Homo-oligomer: A and B are copies of this chain.
Amino acid sequence: MTPAFEKLQKHLKQLPGLGYRSSERIALHLLVEKPDRLPALVAALEEAAKSVRRCTRCGNLAEEDLCGICGDERRDHGLVCVVEQVPDLVAIERSGAFRGVYHVLHGKLSPIHGVGPADLNLAALNDRIRGGTVRELILALSNDVEGEATCHYLTEHLPADSGVTATRIGFGLPSGGGVLYADSVTLKSALDGRRTYS
């Protein structure tokens, strides 16, 4: 195809979930099938890039100082779910299972990748804890070594007199998953996380 077409395809291919074929298909769609959609997409990209920023309280996406969740008075602001990334927050929101608020760390501790406490959104979390409204921190971090290290760091650095409880989300078999198909780490988590059955 043409150089500009190939350049566009290259940029599309860098997006998550898009490969050679799907990026080619989207480029053809925007240039041949529905060229009227291209300016609208460009405008939406530019508008989002200009107006979307981080919530100053929790690190979620926002267009004002506070995101829609931090600004919602009907949510429980004493219950703070700590997640690694915004997509984790989106996944929990989609489940509809949580009515508290969030704190996005924008990463997890990883000495191997050079990510230390200073690289995470921890100062804002400390401010929130010192503010006194936080009652419980639900650590919804990954079930891996780095997630574990981050949980450990967070609980170690909780001020002793803050009165904040730290909990960690449950690990085990996913919904619909059988023991036969679970990997050994999941099975270990599931056994460690067993509860009295009544």
- Please give the residue numbers on chain A whose beta carbons come within 8 Å of chain B beta carbons, in ascending order: 1-5, 7-8, 10-12, 14-18, 22, 24-35, 37-42, 44-52, 61-63, 67-68, 85-87, 90
> Which of B7, B34, B40 is close to A48, meaning CB atoms less than 8 Å apart?
B7
Please tell me if the beta carbons of B16 and A48 are within 8 angstroms of each other in the complex: no
Please tell me if the beta carbons of A16 and B27 are within 8 angstroms of each other in the complex: no
Evaluate whether A51 and B90 lie within 8 angstroms (CB atoms) in the complex, with A30-B45, A44-B11 already known. Answer: no
Please tell me if the beta carbons of B90 and A4 are within 8 angstroms of each other in the complex: no
Please name the residue on chain B nearest to A15 by beta carbon. B26
> Which of B16, B27, B45, B68 is close to A42, meaning CB atoms less than 8 Å apart?
B45
Instruction: Identify the interface centre among A22, A49, A87: most chain B CB within 10 Å of its CB.
Output: A49
How far does the alpha carbon of A67 sit from the alpha carbon of B32 in the complex, in Å?
14
How far does the alpha carbon of A9 sit from the alpha carbon of B23 in the complex, in Å?
17
**Cβ of A24: which chain B residues have Cβ within 8 Å of it?**
87, 90
Instruction: Identify the interface centre among A12, A41, A48: most chain B CB within 10 Å of its CB.
Output: A48
Please tell me if the beta carbons of B41 and A45 are within 8 angstroms of each other in the complex: yes
Evaluate whether A52 and B5 lie within 8 angstroms (CB atoms) in the complex, with A40-B11, A61-B32 already known. Answer: yes
Please tell me if the beta carbons of A15 and B2 are within 8 angstroms of each other in the complex: no
How far does the alpha carbon of A44 sit from the alpha carbon of B47 in the complex, in Å?
17
- 8 extra interface residue pairs, beta carbon distance < 8 Å, beyond A2-B63, A24-B87, A32-B61: A1-B68, A4-B44, A4-B47, A4-B63, A14-B34, A28-B86, A30-B45, A38-B48
